[in-house]
Chain A
Amino acid sequence: MVQIVISSAGAGGLAEWVLMELQGEIEARYSTGLAGNLLGDLHYTTEGIPVLIVGHHILYGKIIHLEKPFAVLVKHTPGEQDCDELGCKTGTQYLVTALIKNKILFKTRPKPIITNVPKKV
């Protein structure tokens, strides 16, 4: 019987994450990859509409409350150090680190940002 154990991290409240859903691809300009780079800026308008600025695109989205919230699990494969004295079972454990109850969906076509408009053309 396969058992996968999912446990909560601690008594403290879980972090609340927000899922951002983009319709498209994110590419890195340089070949170093995406890791560690700034994606863009997320702002909210006065009406509460999220605005994401990525590169020279600006996207407008909306906040959707998820009916089925997501949980963020982190896989915990015990090494030999983690073994309990009680002889815990050496099995993989999943720790819940965060919950996602809302998501921000950007599904409209992005608009371009033109920064340098000369005075006279």
Chain B
Amino acid sequence: MIAALLSRQTPFRDTWWRGQGQLDLLGVCFASLKEQVDSERRQQLLQEAYQLSDTLRSLRSEEVEEEVQLLGAPKEELVNSPDGSQHCLWVDEFAPQYYTELLSDDFTNRCLLKWLKLWDPVVFGRERPARKPRPSMDLARGGKEATISSKWKSHEQVLEDMLEADLDPSRRPRQKVALLCGPPGLGKTTLAHVIARHAGYSVVEMNASDDRSPEAFRTCIEAATQMESVLGAGGKPNCLVIDEIDGAPVAAINVLLNILDRKGPQDAESGGPGVPTSGGRRHRADGGLLMRPIICICNDQFMPSLRQLRQQAFLLHFPPILSSRLTQRLQEVGEGWGWTRRGAAWPTTGWGDMPPVLALASSASRSLQPAPGHDCTGLLFGSRRFQQGPRLISLRQGMQADPGALAALCEKTDNDIRACINTLQFLHGRGRRELSVRAVQTTRVGLKDQRKGLFSVWQEIFQLPRAQRQRWAQDPSSAPHVLLLGDGHLDPGPRAAEAPLTTAAQRLHRILHVAASAGEHEKVVQGLFDNFLRLRLRDSSLGTVCTALDWLAFDDLLTCTAHHGQSFQLLRYLPFLPAAFHLLFASSHMPRIAYPSSQQEAQSRTSRTQNLIHTLVAGIAPAIRSRAAPQALVLDALCLILDILAPKLRPVSTQLYSTREKQQLASLVGTMLAYSLTYRQERLPDGQYIYRLEPNVEEVCRFPELPARKPLTYQAKQLIAHEIEMEKMRRAEALARVGDGPQVDRGPPGATAPLGGAGEKEAQPPTSHSQEEQWLEQRLERILKKAALEDQPERDFFGRVVTKRAAPLSAGAVAPETDVAERRIGRAVGRSDVWFRFKEGVSNAVRRRVPIRDLL
């Protein structure tokens, strides 16, 4: 029987040679395809055969040795041939399929699984097991809490509390979405898939490659959570996994939040805020409640678009993977076996040893199949692993790697699983079968893009790197000049930054690299400028500060010249400023770095001041404007003007001033009007009213820290403001009068010669008017002229002009007399000699002292 099996293997071999490793179906003829299918079926038969041979093994040891020899040959041939199954990535092949195969932190895995279990009541209809009281745990924690202040819960405690919390009124967990965040390559997506599958869901994934406009998002979410796929789901409920959610547009995330916020009728009754239901009426949100769990995955949890989501989500941070675990896994991958971690160590020799292991595996797997929904306590093997026979065969002799080299690889990629496995496959594909430390050091590793914030850049510049053990992932013999060409052309990978940090030259190059790859040079420099004085300076003469300031000036000059003349090649020199700062200021003590705001403040203040000056200059009277240029005004005159404008004024009514004081006030008002300054009342935020100069040029020439001169009181400013208003009105009227009539001066009424005998009611018009009267009359006439329309002749109903018949002469004779009388009265009234001025109030209590001698 065994001979027959052996003979059947030859066509299998032929097929592979002919195919030359091409997957392309057209390159392989149909007959060979059929043969491949047949061969796979044969493999299965083989396995069962080996189970039998297991029992015969002990009896026929010499035959087993023969098999080994025979199988050794095809094994070598297989190795020599180009592998036909290199069409799939090792990352996908060796992806963990089961909970126990996960590489990430146990606590994280458990938390996510627990959270997913919270959905059981809704999705599977299974009740939550009652929480067992744990007195032992409390006792243990009691001792701990004495030391830790109970105010600050550790993150683990927070998570535990969240998981232990009660469910919603609609029996869903409080956090309806889980957010996994961490650096790339840790296995977040894999974790989500594995755990969802483990808990009995079928996974629906939405990726960065999908269309993520809000409509498509909504459609996808609703499809995933409310519908089941027709094919292949096998009756399992859906679990939606949204990958790379930090790249989704904000509108799409808002759609997700809306779906999360939908409340059911039970929630409404419990008094959710803002739910517009009247008592008793059911409010169905359109689309219905969210009844399936959603897992979101992101790299950077501090993206602004995720802010709202973070508050509502079950947040899980991914700690980095332990190097030891990663090394082990890589070893397993390289050797192409299953998980040596928990089982016996299997030698990498021929087929002979496969059968007992296979038997063990299949029996174990049959008894320990994970039932959906049950907690997996300790599966030893993934049985599916061993069904992929042909692949394992081909990769069996994958890579020989010693643990040292693998550890170096892990370090180089910073424990990024995907990068490690990709590197291994890459090297394997290039024909390398042995992995050495040297190879690891000189190879370039591709990593997923990552964002590093400005704060990390500043931290690297200002902090001396701690002396670490020699990192053997980096090539120590690489000359510094290789590092210099850090454009990505020749540098040994993105981890060039972690060069051995002992020499200043290498530190310099590291900072150069960091600074060059930080996109916002302006912000970096501003941050340096704002924070560099907070560091502990080692140099007591402040020479370093001077050098730093010189560098800043140089940087300004560079950017100016580069942008002015479009000579952008000068921008190549910009990263040297952070490097210089590092060499000047880096210390092991890390100060608090504040986000730079000084430039913005200075800019806003400058613009405000310039606006003030501009306003002031625009309002100055022309006579003065000719002598006051803005520059001269600000530098020389303004400060002194403000002193002139604050004389000592008595806080009494202006009526009580002496002439000198009145003159002083008048000159002050004149000055202020000349510079178009005034005081305006303003209300402070705390309710007080103050008078402020407008435009407030005190800001221009008074330093806020210095004590101001004694300011004017509120009353004085009020007084001055009032006087200024009055003077303005007077001047405006004077201007208007000048504009209206030919008369220039308007003297006081009593100054001119009075009319004689104005009391006589004579029809003669007075020969000489006082100018005021003349002006008044003329003004009145002018107003009447402006206002009066043309006299329209009267028209009757039909529009015919009505002509008035002349009044009878008698009436006409009488009429002029009365007219004259009326006119005379009118004139008398308007021209009387005596004026009466009414005064309100009573004057009963006027007393006068009358001595007797006046009476005598």
Contact = CB atoms under 8 A, between A and B. Distances in A.
Interface stretch (B159-167, B297-305, B500-508, B829-837): B829-837
B856 A37 contact: no
A25 B843 CA distance: 12
B788 A2 contact: no
Contacts of A38: 759, 832-834
Contacts of A121: 784, 787-788
A49 B856 CA distance: 40
A116 B791 CA distance: 18
Nearest to B791: A120
Contact of A26 (B754, B759, B836, B852): B836
Contacts of A34: 834
Given A29-B832, A30-B833, A37-B759, A115 B856 contact: no
Contacts of A28: 833-835
A91 B758 CA distance: 44
Nearest to A108: B838
B378 interface: no
Nearest to A30: B754
A24 interface: yes
Question: Which applies to chain A's interface (DSSP): helix, strand, loop or mixed?
Answer: loop
Contact of B839 (A2, A23, A55): A23
A24 B842 CA distance: 10
A51 to B, nearest CB: 13
B820 interface: no
Given A116-B826, A118-B784, A24 B838 contact: yes
Contact of A54 (B784, B788, B832): B832
Nearest to A3: B856
B467 interface: no
Contacts of A116: 826
A28 B839 CA distance: 16
A30 B835 contact: no
A27 B830 contact: no
A57 interface: yes
Highest count of chain A CB atoms <10 Å: which of B754, B835, B836: B836
A4 B853 CA distance: 11
B789 interface: yes
Given A37-B759, A115-B825, A121-B784, A110 B836 contact: yes
Q: Assign chain B's interface to a size class.
A: 20 to 34
Contacts of B855: 4, 92
A109 interface: yes
A45 interface: no
Interface in B773-831: 784, 787-789, 791, 822, 825-826, 829-830
Nearest to A53: B829
B702 to A, nearest CB: 51
Interface string B741-773: 000000001100011001100000000000000
A25 B836 contact: yes
A12 B66 CA distance: 179
Nearest to B854: A75
A74 B749 CA distance: 37
Given A31-B750, A115-B826, A115-B829, A92 B836 contact: no
A91 B281 CA distance: 112
Contacts of B839: 23-25
Contacts of B787: 121
B819 to A, nearest CB: 12
B856 A30 contact: no
A27 B856 contact: no
A22 B843 CA distance: 11
A9 interface: no
B837 A27 contact: yes
B750 A30 contact: yes
Contacts of B842: 23
Nearest to B760: A38
A55 B788 contact: no
B829 A37 contact: no
Contact of A110 (B750, B754, B791, B838): B838
A56 B833 contact: no
A24 B834 contact: no
A78 interface: no
A64 interface: no
Contacts of A29: 749, 754, 758, 832-835
Interface in B401-460: none
Contact of B833 (A25, A37, A57): A37
A113 interface: yes
Nearest to A27: B835
Interface string A11-39: 00000000000111111111110100111
A4 B784 contact: no
A69 interface: no
Nearest to A109: B838
Interface of B: 749-750, 754-755, 758-759, 784, 787-789, 791, 822, 825-826, 829-830, 832-839, 842-843, 852, 855-856
Given A26-B835, A38-B832, A40-B832, 6 more contacts: A2-B852, A28-B834, A29-B758, A29-B833, A54-B836, A115-B830
Interface of A: 2, 4, 22-32, 34, 37-40, 53-57, 59, 91-92, 109-110, 113, 115-116, 118, 120-121
- Which 3 residue pairs across A and B have the least CB separation, nearest first? A115-B826, A30-B754, A54-B836
24 contacts: A4-B855, A25-B836, A27-B834, A27-B836, A29-B749, A29-B754, A29-B758, A31-B754, A34-B834, A37-B759, A37-B834, A38-B759, A38-B833, A38-B834, A40-B836, A54-B832, A55-B832, A55-B835, A56-B830, A91-B856, A92-B855, A109-B838, A113-B829, A115-B826
